[in-house]
Amino acid sequence: MSSKKMITLKSSDGRIFEVEEAVAQESQTIKHMIEDGYGNSVIPLPNVTGRILYKIIEFCTKHVAVEEDIKQKSVEPTVVVEDVKQKSVEPTVVEDVKQKSVELPVDDDAWDAEPSDIDEWDAQFIDVDESTMFELIVASNYLNIKRLMDLSAQAIADMMKDKTVEEIRKIFNIQNDFTPEEEMKIRNENSWAYE
Amino acid sequence: MEQLPNEILEKIICLLPVKCVLRLRCVSKSWLAIISSPYFVKLHLKRSVQTKSNLRLFRWRYDLFQVDFNSLYEGNDLQMVKVDSIPLMFRKYGLVPNCSCDGLLCMSTICVIQNVLLCNPSPRRYYGPNCSVDGLYCMPKVRAIENVFLWNPSTRKSIKLPYASIEIANQSDRLNAYVYCCYRIGYDNNNDDYKVVRIVILISYHLDIIIDYEIKVYSLRSNFWHRPEKFSHCPNWISFGNIIVGRALHWISTVKSDLKRESLIVAFDFGTEKYRVLPQPEYSSPHFDLYLDNFGGCLSLSCKYESSIVDVFLLKEYGKKNEHWSRLITLSPTTTSEIYHPVTPIAYSKCGKKVWLHMGRMRLVLYNLEQKLVEENTVDGKRELTSPLHTCFESLVSIDVPVAPMVTWEVV
């Protein structure tokens, strides 16, 4: 394995993280900074705490690794599979590919389907308390990591679905600035939605 | 804990179903402002379309049901769920969905073809409010134009469209004819407006000759009907599908000359209100029956040849330079037992290798694109759907009108 370029990131609370360039570039914000020439020095991230940055790096590392596996597997799959189907020889080529990829299923459908193991991993990753979810979404928005933004937004939305208005206010730390009459009026406009 | 900034809140709330979003309106003033903004309504609709969190509606007997194709795994039955938010007055008038756009449904009566006796109004006699001015037929009460509503089943708001008389130039003193009426709703990108197109076709008594037609357009913003420029050839009323693609309404016009009968695919743009004739695909053989539909945003053309083979084409790169037709499927009587024309693709299966086909508005089947054959399927134990399917996305699109001569109805 050739040595990969490392990028140094510094969280708001002074913790230093060294990550591979490919992993750091999952964040469009950091990617632009690297392109602008800041890749050789420490990149400060004053909006992200060490605890959250650690998790984000974990997320990006995992997804970069999964993409690498897919790329390796998909380099010659169509040729390999068709050869195997038509000639029924050289099963070892398929075996080699099997060994390189880590967690992906081996049946034909796998060429087209998204590996569902990563969805499971994502689900476990985002299974955290609400305040961590909020920190993750704010950080992924600042760092511009679309996949993590979408994942955390969906997780928060799923959490909100069955909550009452009062519970929502509590979770999001929102002050109700409506008068009781105003609130009643708004509720009545869509009273069926509150059942 | 700090509050989330608005731009992040928008991204989260737009993932929620409409019922949930409406509840959140009373959380705080800033949340109400976010949810009510036109930008957010569009964002929510866009997500709804992207994630295909949509309802496929169809009518069965006197009720509306929704079918969610995306929760279906091959081999299972389709789940049909009754839509119970339909206002009672719709049932009273016998209204059914005619067409839909961005979560808005246009509702009108079931009976769309009606026998009428038309006459030239004499200037001395009073024929009542339906009477038109000189040179136009006096229209008796046409059921299909009486009670027309726009309804958003997600927000449960509806509005009645103002009455618009039919104005067709008379060609003879008395005429025994059929009046065919239909509505299509679309979005006008230029003015951020929703428009309802009404097409009224006058057909001869033996249902073989189209005498004339009228086209009128209703704009939600103005809450008013107007007459756009008219296309020189009448739409073919038999195959008038619900086809809105690329912000234009499509239909097939038949042009009859001495030597031949030609079909034109016509596009009426909701924004410019102008017409365009589309090129047609390479057909395998000359004689055919054509039917247009919308498949996932693409115009689909179902073509039946004299040999009873059916081809379904999709129009790719709509409106662009390399606009072209691509053949999706071919059904041949030798490989498929019952083929009912028109064949309309409804949705891809989860794996993308199969397509749900609606045949002749009666049969729903699953077609395997690789093996090129039809698989068996049951719909909740029934293999027939007796009415067209309407795609209706969940949306917050509002139907408030500036001047309110009509009352806004709400389901209690």
pLDDT bin (cut points 50, 70, 90) of residue B378 is very low
Q: Which residue of A has its CA nearest to B15?
A: A157
Q: What are phi and psi of B241, to 5 degrees?
A: -95, 180
In this prediction, what percent of chain A has a pLDDT beyond 70? 77
Per-chain mean pLDDT for chain B:
79
Mutate to test the interface with A, among B7, B27, B408 (most CBs of A within 10 A): B27
pLDDT at A104: 33
Average pLDDT, integer, range B47-72: 65
Distance from CA of A1 to the nearest CA of B (A): 36
**Closest to B406 in 3D by CA, of B162, B217, B183:** B162
Give per-residue pLDDT as tens, B223-249.
999 999 988 888 887 766 667 887 888
Mean of the pLDDT values across residues A66-75?
78
Checking if the pLDDT of B103 tops 70, the result is yes
Confidence of residue B69 (pLDDT cuts 50, 70, 90): low
CA distances, B406 to each of A186, B150, B224 (Å): 22, 12, 12
Predicted confidence (pLDDT) at residue B298 exceeds the cutoff of 50 = yes
* The pLDDT value given to residue B148: 92
Q: How far apart are CA A72 and CA A62, in angstroms?
A: 16
Report for A76-85, A102-111, A175-184, B260-269: range of highest mean pLDDT: A175-184
- Per-residue model confidence (pLDDT) at position B78: 60
pLDDT higher than 90, residue A136: yes
Give B19-47 pLDDT, tens digit per residue. 899 999 999 999 999 999 999 999 998 88
Out of A137, A175, A194, closest to residue B23 by CB: A194
Among B145-149, B151-155, B258-262, B328-332, the range scoring the smallest mean pLDDT is B258-262
How many Cβ pairs closer than 8 A exist between chain A and B? 78
Q: Is B409 on the interface with A (CB under 8 A)?
A: no
Asked if B411 has any chain A CB less than 8 Å from its own CB, the reply is yes
B4/A172 Cβ within 8 A: yes
More confident residue, B129 or B338: B338
Contact state of B26 with A177 under an 8 Å Cβ cutoff: no
Contacts of B5 in chain A (CB under 8 A): 138
Q: Which of A63-72, B301-310, B354-363 has the lowest mean pLDDT?
A: B354-363
For residue A114, the model assigns a pLDDT of: 52
Q: Which residues of B are less than 8 Å from A176 in CB distance?
A: 27-28
Tokens 């569009």, residue located: B42
- List the B343-348 sheet strands across, edge first: B343-348, B354-359, B363-368, B373-375
| Best residue of B2, B3, B11, B408 to probe chain A, by most A CBs closer than 10 Å | B11
SS (H, E, C) A13-75: CCCEEEEEHHHHCCCHHHHHHHHHHHCCCCEECCCCCHHHHHHHHHHHHHHHHHHHHHHHHHC
The answer to ipTM > 0.90 is no
> Which chain A residue is nearest to residue B6, measuring alpha carbons?
A138
Put simply, the answer to whether A176 touches B156 (Cβ < 8 Å) is no
* B26–chain A nearest CA distance, Å: 6
Q: Given an 8 Å threshold on Cβ–Cβ distance, is B26 in contact with A187? A: yes
Contacting B with CB below 8 Å, chain A residues are 109, 112-113, 131, 134, 137-138, 141, 149, 153-154, 156-157, 160-161, 165, 168-169, 172-178, 183, 186-187, 189-194
- A99/B78: higher pLDDT: B78
Q: What is the pLDDT of residue A64?
A: 93
pLDDT score, position B289: 81
Single pTM value for the model: 0.76
- For the cut 70, the answer to whether the pLDDT of residue B216 exceeds it is yes
* Closest Cα in chain A to B13: A157
Q: What integer pLDDT is reported at residue A2 of this predicted model?
A: 54
| B111 at interface of A, judged by CB pairs closer than 8 A | no
Closest approach of chain B CAs to the CA of A190, in angstroms? 7
A-chain residue closest to B351, CA distance: A113
Mean of the pLDDT values across residues B300-324? 86
**Does the pLDDT of residue B383 top 70, yes or no?**
no
- Alpha-carbon span B153 to A119, nearest angstrom: 33
Q: B23, A178: Cβ pair inside 8 Å?
A: no
**Helix or strand (DSSP H, E) at B81:** strand B80-82
Query: What's residue B268's pLDDT?
Result: 92
pLDDT band at residue A79 using 50, 70 and 90 as cut-offs: very low
Q: Give the confidence band of B404 by pLDDT, cuts at 50, 70, 90.
A: very low
Which positions in chain B touch A138 (Cβ < 8 Å)?
A: 4-5, 8
A108-145 per-residue burial string, b: 16 or more CB within 10 A, e: under 16 = eebeeeebeebeebbeebbeeeeeebbbbbbbbbebeb
Interface contact flag, B12 A190, Cβ < 8 Å: no
Closest among B155, B215, B63, B225 to B408, alpha carbons compared: B155
Instruction: Give the closest-approach CA distance of A87 to chain B in angstroms.
Output: 21
CA distances in angstroms from B345 to A90, B81, B315, B349, listed in the order given: 41, 21, 13, 11
Higher per-residue pLDDT: B371 or A173: A173
Interval A75-84 mean pLDDT: 38
- Measured between alpha carbons, how far is residue A175 from residues A181, B27, B136, B218, B246 in Å? 16, 8, 63, 43, 44
Measured between alpha carbons, how far is B323 from B74 in angstroms, rounded to an integer?
33
pLDDT for A78 equals: 38
- Residue B208's pLDDT is what? 76
Name residue, tokens 């195997």: A84
Minimal C-alpha gap between B90 and chain A (Å): 18
Report the residue from A109, A153, A173 with minimal CB separation from B12: A153
Whether residues A160 and B23 touch (CB distance < 8 A) is answered with no
Contacting B residues, span 78-97, partner chain A, CB-CB under 8 Å: 85
Burial of B193 (0-12, 13-18, 19+ CB in 10 A): middle
Q: Rank A52-66, B253-267, B310-324, B367-381 by mean pLDDT and report only the highest.
A: A52-66
Most confident of the following: A82-86, A110-114, B92-96, B254-258 = B92-96
